[in-house]
Amino acid sequence: MCVDKRFTPTENVAWFIAECPDVRFFDLGMFRVPSRKTVITVDPLVVECCERGTIQVAGHAFNFPAFAGFKVLHRPDEHDVGVRVEIPWLIWALFGAFRKDRGVSLHVSGIRRGFLGVRHSWRNHEQRKANDETIDSAYPAVDFSELEKSWRQEMAAQNQAAR
């Protein structure tokens, strides 16, 4: 799928969507955590392409033992969204304060602009086929049967070796 970028009106960026019941964009990034209260800025292109107010934290993982509260901050500028990370004081003192490489992997998600309220968008066979042909036309032909055959051979060899 290509998404028009308002930042540069002559360019498009290709995005790949995870399959889910609604039309949702995801972004995953690793960020430094300089203090126990930190604000992380969400990629402006992600914000641009999502319905206002739908971006949420879908998951996280710290690189040190910690848990935290997360709050999505929608600032007055429509393209400026941050995530406030707040780690409890005792957890910070025990596990985070003395580390120099503190970081968090943050997974955010939002509804694609123009698709708010669309869920389980049903298609008939002809529509599905036309959609597949459109997607296939954007990429060179790939012979998936050969890929599947080699994958099955590799799995059989691994299973044989495990016995």
Mean pLDDT by 10 residues, the chain (163 residues): 54 72 89 91 87 91 89 76 89 86 91 88 84 74 69 83 79
Q: What's the predicted TM-score (pTM) here?
A: 0.67
Q: Distance of CA 71 to CAs 18, 58, 76, 77, 103, Å?
A: 24, 11, 16, 17, 17
Cα 34 to chain centroid, rounded: 23
pLDDT of residue 108: 93
